[in-house]
Amino acid sequence: MCEDRIIGALDVSGVRAAEWDQFEQKAIVVYKPKKISEERIQQLVAEAGHDTDRFTASDEAYGDLDACCLYRDGCSGCSEHQKSHEDHGHDHEPRPRPRRRP
């Protein structure tokens, strides 16, 4: 759910591609700096309820997140919200780590 929300927030003009790295807990974004700034990209993520290096999501946006996506109080996802994840149809198998390009 978190990945879909973040990637969805980045589905805007100027962003060529966005991918969520679950293990690093960050988005990898390819964008056109003449059309959108890094600052605006981080604002979009914060508006979707997720804190970034530069912006903190509003309490309202954070409060709209599903229980399995809450992260501010040290929640580590499935281990603390197993029931919530099952309610949302999450699988609990780890995903393979993406390969880094040389």
pLDDT tens digit string along 23-73? 888 899 999 999 999 999 999 999 999 999 999 999 999 989 888 888 887
The domain limits of the chain are: 2-87
Residue whose entry in the numeric block shows the structure tokens 């003449």: 34
Query: Global pTM?
Result: 0.68
State how far the Cα of 30 lies from the Cα of 68, in Å rounded to an integer. Answer: 27
Q: Which CATH class is domain 2-87?
A: alpha beta
> Measured between alpha carbons, how far apart are the two ends of the chain, in Å?
30
